[in-house]
Every structure is written in structure tokens, then in C-alpha cells.
Chain A
């Protein structure tokens, strides 16, 4: 679906991501963007993903308006009650309304994903840029550190660090952010290296443009395109990771609801067998969210770099 080898359908205005704007930069960037949007729109799964994610964001942001119950109110009399007119998705082990918690948990999961990815994209862009621009020992040092971080089984290191720092939503964001940067750094470095040799950079150098201008004006915008794609897939992974950590009890701590920690109860066979309302909805929410973001990432990849073989 994505690995198009036939490029005949690529509009001429859609200058490939790593290619050079040939004439007026303003005109070209405008045309390139419309080419990107055009290609993104034709990716049906990406459109589906965008719509679903939009609904999820609206539901999470509007949680206080939509939810009919407070997600923290403990009502021990209505302990693990099935869905009813009053509690559409039933109540949990502390008698809290599952639907309300589901909506509020969306805020947690989405913000953990967004913040964690922002952290590691920032680290990755800076380190990758440094490595790619300065080369030599700076490059070797940064890339060896990246190799090292990639070698750790990240989940094991993450649960270790989280247990040292103490599990909380902020530590989860920080640790996922600290462990996730190597792929981004590699991407940016690779792009810097290849862009350095491109004609338009050499041209800019030959007319005497200062390094700073070359980096920020010519190299960064072109090097960042694949980062957008990587970051969208990264956000999906960060949400999964947060869910996994919270499920194990090492992530977001109750009473704060997260889709992951709402599933923790399902480890008991009784809950699994006879209280599907407790574990099915949060699990489906994670799956739908992550799937939507992955669809969007796939659409972006196709739209931004039609030449990408993978």
C-alpha cells in the first residue's frame, strides 16, 4: 500500500522531501505543501485515522462537559456494577464511573504520548544535527551513545528508572523521552550528511551565506520532514509504552485514570470472565488511538516522501 515503486502518479509540483527547491523558495514551498496535502488526502486510512483521532481529542478535551459523573468519586455501594442507565459502562472496583474515567484517561494517554515524543524529538534533532554537521569525533561519540541506548531492552530499563524515580505520569514522560531519541538522531544525522553534499547547500556556501543561515534556512527544513513521520509513529509507541507501564502498575498511578491502569484489574480471572465492561473499553480505546496515529503516520510518510521505499 505504501511502497509505491511506480512514481508516475507523483505530481511534478511535489518536489521530493530531500530534494532541492529550484526556483523561488516561496513559490516552491507553497507548491510542495499543496502536493503533500493532496497526497495525504488520497490516503484513505490516514483520513480515517485523522477523523478518529480528532474525535478522541475532542472527547478528551471535552471530558468535563461530556462525562456525567466525576471520575474520582468513590461509591463503594456500586462496586463493579455492570452497565446501567445511570452508569453507561458500569462502575469499577471502587465504584467509580467507567465511562467518565475512560474519557479522562484519554487526556492522560494523549498528553503522555505528545510530551514524551516532543522530548525525544527535541533531543534527537539537536544531537543528530550536531553529529551530522560537525562530523568527526562529535559524530562518533553521539552515534556510539545512540547505539548504546538502542542496545538496552528499553522496557526493562524504563521500569528500572521509573522504579528509582518513583512511578508518576511525569516520570513516565521523561523516561520514555530520554530513551526514545536514537532513531530520530540517526535520521537527522543521515539527512544532514546527505544534504551537506546537495547542490543547493553548496550553492548557498559559494555565495557566502553564513553557516547558521545554511543550517536553519536550507538544511533543517529538509532534514526534518522524515522526523515528522518518525515522531507520529513514535507517539503511537509512546502511548503503547505508557499503557504497558501503567498496566504493570509502574506508570500513571491511580486514582488518576489511564487506559493502561484501568486494565490492571483484568489480571484477575473473575474480572476477565464476568466483568468485560472493566477491561474491554480501555483496551479498545488504546487500540483505536494507536491505530489512528499509525494510519496518520503512514499517510504522512507517503505524502512527504513519495520516494521512500519503506
Chain B
């Protein structure tokens, strides 16, 4: 197990290296001065141009790109992602204000997707070729084919504009006291919109996986023992179905992160997605780079975690 873990970590190193290199390169070809991006504008104003030159020298910003990359990595390891072009705030602070809303949205989406996708997929497999099976499959097709922004707008039109059941935008009502019900009302529409799209691969994989499981010998044995169909399905077949889903969920994480960008935009959700879009329009590259880097590192980390969890829960995997 220890060696397996180590090998996975070693594979992640060049990937992380490539990610940091790509992000750095993007930040460098982006218009704007990378020097002022690394320095605090308030300090710059107080201390004058000589100090800026000194800082440049100290940070090695006059040096060639390869050296600067190493310096940038060092700054990164200290948690310095640079400073926003727009308001001079540290990028990390701007991002950290937005992390929680995005995490809240993403985890709600994941819960919704699992609650919709897995039961539908399992039932479709148990009732293979039934009307329900076709309906679930069609729903899966629709969920990946309808653009999330259109679905989101449709939901707003139906549930907010026509029926007036739910708020159109934001995370909380303006001026109102923050209550659980209020937050719940705000998150339902964005989470359902994205949850449906994320449920589609889960329907597909849980169905395929369950079907595979049903045709295994041990299921035939369980049936031959005279166990009830219910026990066979839930106690025996289901057991080997849920494990691969960990991987599927982890693999869909980049799509989920990307999905939140558009959904946050439509529902004016104060998360990293709206920050990313606003930064792109404001040409605030340090902020965009920070978000890209954070997103990529999260994806690598979650894939690693998924592999480990998978190895732990599935005894058939040998860690050599």
C-alpha cells in the first residue's frame, strides 16, 4: 500500500510541474506587466520607483524567464499568488473570499447528481429494457445535450418568473436575515441545473456497472441458493457497483468546475466562477492564473484521492 501510494504521488509530480509551467507561460504571454502584478501597489506608491527597481532586483524580475519561473514557484510556495491588476489586492485573498460559495455549490451539485444519477442507473439496470430503462437513458441524453445556461434560464423562467417560487439570483436575499431556508431557496435552482448535467454520466456508469455485476457467477450462485431477488440485488450485486463510481465522480470534477463558471454567471452566485469571468473581462490575469492553478491542483489532488479510496475499498486491487 505504501509503495502504491508513493508511486501515485511520484506520477503526480511531473503533472503538477507541467501545470505550473503552463500557467506561468500563460501569465507571461498575457498582456500586462508581470512586474507590477507581483508587487503590492500600495507599497509601490509609498516607496517610489527606486524601491520598485530594488524589489524587481530582489525578486529577480529582470532576469530571464526560466529564472523568473523558479522565483515564481518560490513565491507560490509561500502562498503569494501575486496581486490583482484591478484593485491591488492579493490574489489569494480575492480567491479565498470566493472559495466557500463555490465549494458549497459544488458539493450540493455532487449530492444532487448522486441522488439523481445512481438510483436511476441502478433501477434501469435491474429493469433492463423496460420503459423505465429507456426513460432513464433518454433523461441522461437530454441532461448532457441541453446547455446548462439554457436549462438554468428555463428554470428561472418557470420557477422564478412564472411561478414565483424561488429567487432568481444570488446566495442570500439582500438585506434579509441569513437563514437556512433562505439559503436553501437560493441554491435549489443552480444546484439542480448543474446536478442534472452531472447526473448523466452517473446514470450511464451505474447502469453499466450494475449490469456487469448482475451477470457475474456469484449472482447466479446467490440466485441458485434461493435468495430473494431483493437480497440478491442489494446485498450481492450492488456491492461491486459503487466502487468504480468514486473514480467517475473524480474524473468529472474538471467538468463540474467548468460548469460552475457558467452557472454562477447565470444565477449571480458570488463564487470563483463569477470572479473568473469578471477577471477575464477586466483582463486581470494574475487572478485568472490563480484560479486556473487552484482548479488544476484540486483536480490532480482529487484524482489521487480517488485512486487511493478505490484501492482501499476494492480488495481486488493489488497495491504493488
With contact pairs A152-B295, A163-B283, A267-B266 given, residues A287 and B146 touching in the complex (Cβ less than 8 Å)? yes
Q: Which of A1, A159, A294 contacts B261 (CB 8 A)?
A: A159
* A223 partner residues in chain B, CB cutoff 8 A: none
The interface bits of chain B over 162-187 (1 if a CB of A lies within 8 angstroms of the residue's CB, else 0) are: 00000010000000000000000000
The interface bits of chain A over 127-148 (1 if a CB of B lies within 8 angstroms of the residue's CB, else 0) are: 0000000000000000011011
Residue contact A164 to B257, C-beta cutoff 8 Å: no
* B150 partner residues in chain A, CB cutoff 8 A: 263, 279, 283, 286-287
Q: Separation in Å of the A101 CB from the closest CB of chain B? A: 16
With contact pairs A152-B295, A286-B150 given, residues A164 and B133 touching in the complex (Cβ less than 8 Å)? no
Q: Which of A160, A279, A309 contacts B292 (CB 8 A)?
A: A160
Residue contact A1 to B161, C-beta cutoff 8 Å: no
- Alpha-carbon distance A243/B151, docked complex (angstroms): 13
Residue contact B280 to A151, C-beta cutoff 8 Å: no
Within 8 A of A (CB), among B164-218: 168, 204-205, 207-208, 211-212, 215
With contact pairs A153-B295, A157-B292 given, residues A148 and B22 touching in the complex (Cβ less than 8 Å)? yes
- Alpha-carbon distance A150/B22, docked complex (angstroms): 13
Residue contact B262 to A236, C-beta cutoff 8 Å: no
The interface bits of chain B over 143-168 (1 if a CB of A lies within 8 angstroms of the residue's CB, else 0) are: 01111111001101100010000001
The interface bits of chain A over 280-310 (1 if a CB of B lies within 8 angstroms of the residue's CB, else 0) are: 0001001100110011001000000000011
Residue contact A145 to B18, C-beta cutoff 8 Å: yes
B240 an interface residue at 8 Å Cβ cutoff?
no
Residue contact B147 to A286, C-beta cutoff 8 Å: yes
Q: Separation in Å of the A241 CB from the closest CB of chain B? A: 9
- Alpha-carbon distance A249/B292, docked complex (angstroms): 19
Residue contact B29 to A164, C-beta cutoff 8 Å: yes
Q: Which of B29, B31, B283, B292 contacts A156 (CB 8 A)?
A: B292
A250 an interface residue at 8 Å Cβ cutoff?
yes
* A9 partner residues in chain B, CB cutoff 8 A: none
Q: What residue in chain B is nearest A6 (Cβ atoms)? A: B215
Task: Give 19 CB contacts A-B under 8 Å.
Answer: A1-B137, A3-B208, A5-B211, A150-B299, A152-B19, A152-B292, A153-B292, A155-B261, A156-B261, A157-B292, A159-B277, A236-B144, A250-B280, A263-B153, A269-B161, A269-B168, A272-B156, A283-B150, A286-B146
| Residues of B near any A CB (own CB < 8 A) | 11, 14-15, 18-19, 22, 26, 29-31, 129, 133-134, 137, 141-142, 144-150, 153-154, 156-157, 161, 168, 204-205, 207-208, 211-212, 215, 254, 257-259, 261-262, 265-266, 276-277, 280-281, 283, 285, 288-289, 291-292, 295-296, 299-300, 303
| Residues of A near any B CB (own CB < 8 A) | 1-3, 5, 45, 144-145, 147-148, 150-157, 159-161, 163-164, 236, 240, 243-244, 247-250, 260, 263, 266-267, 269, 272-273, 276, 279, 283, 286-287, 290-291, 294-295, 298, 309-310
The 7 closest A-B pairs by CB, nearest first: A155-B258, A283-B150, A153-B257, A291-B145, A153-B295, A148-B18, A290-B145
A-B contacts besides A156-B288, A267-B153, 5 pairs, CB < 8 Å: A155-B258, A236-B144, A269-B168, A283-B153, A310-B205
